[in-house]
Amino acid sequence: MTETQQNLYKLLIELDKICNDNDIQYFLAGGTSLGAIRHGGFLPWDDDVDLYITRKNYEKLDKVLNKMDIPNRSWITAENCETYCNPLPRYIDEDTTVIYRARIGDGTPHGQQIEFFILDPFPNDEEKQIEYKKYLWLYCEIMNPYFVSIRSTLPVETIDESLYNYYNKKIKKVGKNQVLFEIKEKITYDEDECDYYCARWGKRAIVYRKAWCDDVKLVQFEDRLFPVAKDVINCLSVDYGMNWNLIPNVDNQIIHSSIDRLDKSCWDNDEEIRKIVKKYNINDILYKNKQNNLFKGFRKIDFHRLESKLKNSYLQLLVNQWNKEKWRFSIEKTDELVKIFEPFFVFQLSFIYSKFNLSLDINEDLLETMVLSLIYSNRIKDCNIILNSNKKFSKEKDYSDICKAIYNLKIEKYNKNLNRVNVLLKYLINKNYSNQIEVLRTRAWLLSSEPTKSKNDDINSFKEFLSISNNDLEVFKYYADTLYYYGKKEEANKMYKDILNESNNGMIMLDIKNKLSKKRGGLDEKNN
């Protein structure tokens, strides 16, 4: 662990004890839960800890922490601190200093913190869900005068400039608290009427099925056990997409921008910071900066709408040329087809273009070839975007069902749910997708989990899997597991070493490291 992580870990242990002592259920969230599942602890680059808590459990925790007097700790919420304008309650270590730009003048302790994301009931009705997301964004945007929640990745129907202006003007008449109360009423639902939870956060509506989070399980996080959602793999798939198990390259490893001094109390320079904030009108500058960026965000939507229409015209010209040809998909030509279609995919799959859902006149055989090329290159999310943009496609539902089955197959494989895996495999194999890479990986995993006891048959099956998958590293790992099972330990350990050096699949890498740490031999610690 880094020094930052060591201190955060200490805070996490404190909160865990408080919650356990008071029968309060919480669980690891976001990158913290991803780190637990994929790395057995912190993400190597992570610099914060996020926790989930349901509204009912939060209310219990809030009462407990407001009554407790913990030395050098603060519990800061929008309810107990008038100047704190954020929907995320924070447990703060006053012995440290961590300063974020948007919070520099909010008058709260600027120490290292753990954030709670509150999970609120989210409606079942689709139209109410759209309204909820709109008012959730609005609530967070108005609540925080210095931080911009609007993002180009938010759905178009979520961002409503006229509604924002209406409530912003209303603040001058009735006050900000009354306006926030009115908006909050629109995102408050009876838990018994809802099958979903939504995190109270403006940058994105994170929605889970309640059934995934109605209980927790303990998993290893560094040297202790901490709770994650019962169906944490489902949650991670929502948070990070189907490829949550892959470790991103350095450019995509998110680190927060802040001024950190873990050896210095946040109170040491508090008076000086307050003087600077007052002297240079920092809060006024931050407020004006937010309003400018918000205005730019609204105008950017208009620009993106126009830009997408121009791109749509270009795509139609491209498609018109392809419509003249006869198209037929073959697995052997997957890479070639993807290369041909990539200019189309680059535009249609972009956040900016896809959210406007513009239609194209595209022949069915061409569209089907595109869809299959994405399915067989395992770009399931991209395939769903193409299908959602082409609802008139006669086979749209059929291919959507295939994508859903592949998506769920991967989830159930990492859940180690053999019954569901077998059901989904049977469905996909019957639909002639036995050689789709995620299906192949799952078949290989299943064989390594339940060897047939016929060594030659199993090894021959793996050689076939490797040939079809072009020596896919995940298939290779399951082959190594099977060789180890049959006593070929030296060969298996050599394969494990190669996989650790070449793979970015954090799940198989963690499993290999766990196997080797149990004295199964063959690899020095330095290679881990």
- The pLDDT tens digits for 340-394 are 999 999 999 998 888 898 889 999 999 999 999 999 999 999 999 999 989 899 9
258-303 tens-digit pLDDT? 888 999 999 998 898 999 999 999 999 999 999 999 999 999 999 9
The conformation of residue 230, written as its DSSP 8-state character, comes to T
Q: What is the pLDDT of residue 527?
A: 35
Confidence check: pLDDT of 202 > 80: no
Q: How many CA atoms lie within 13 A of 498 on its CB side?
A: 14
Please give the pLDDT value at position 519. 53
- Quote the CA–CA distance of 408 and 384 in Å, as a whole number: 14
- What is the per-residue DSSP string for 166-219? HHHHHHHHH-HHHHHHHHHHHT---GGG-SEEEES-SS---EEEHHHHSSEEEE
DSSP string covering 496-521, please? HHHHHHH--BHHHHHHHHHHIIIII-
Q: Contact 494/485 with Cβ under 8 angstroms?
A: no
Tokens read off for 416: 């180690």
The pTM score is: 0.92
Those residues with Cβ within 8 angstroms of residue 285's Cβ, 6 or more apart along the chain or in another chain: none
Q: What kind and span of H or E run contains 332?
A: none
Query: CA 210, CA 200: separation in Å to the nearest integer?
Result: 15
Q: Determine which helix (DSSP H) or strand (DSSP E) holds 362, and give its type and residue range.
A: none
CB-count burial class (<10 Å; 0-12, 13-18, 19+) for 416:
exposed
Q: Which two tokens stand for residue 25?
A: 């259920």
pLDDT at 453 (0 to 100):
75
**67-79 pLDDT tens trace:** 999 999 999 999 9
pLDDT at 517: 80
Q: How far is CA 329 from CA 207, 316, 367, 381, 398, in A?
A: 36, 21, 10, 19, 16
- Phi and psi for 119 in degrees, rounded to 5? -95, 120
Mean pLDDT value across residues 161-187: 96
CA distance 477 to 441: 10
Closest CA to 507 of 162, 244, 167: 244
The residues pairing with 310 across neighbouring beta strands, listed in sequence order, are: none
DSSP-derived 3-state class of residue 75: strand
Return d(Cα 214, Cα 231) in angstroms, integer.
9
What is the mean predicted confidence (pLDDT) over 494-522?
87
| pLDDT given at position 119 | 98
Query: SS3 breakdown of the chain: % helix, strand, coil, rounded to 5?
Result: 60, 10, 30
Q: For a pLDDT cut of 70, what percent of the chain falls above it?
A: 98
User: The tokens of 199 are what?
Assistant: 């995190």
Q: Can you tell me the mean pLDDT for 319-330? A: 96
Q: How confident is the model at residue 256 (pLDDT cuts 50, 70, 90)?
A: confident
For all residues of the chain together, what is the average pLDDT? 93
β-partners of residue 75 are 91
Can you tell me the distance from the alpha carbon of 124 to that of 235, in angstroms, rounded to the nearest whole number?
Answer: 18
Gyration radius from the chain CA atoms: 26
**Environment class of 266 (CB within 10 Å of its CB; exposed 0-12, middle 13-18, buried 19+):** buried
Average pLDDT of 111-137? 97
Structure tokens at 300: 């950017």
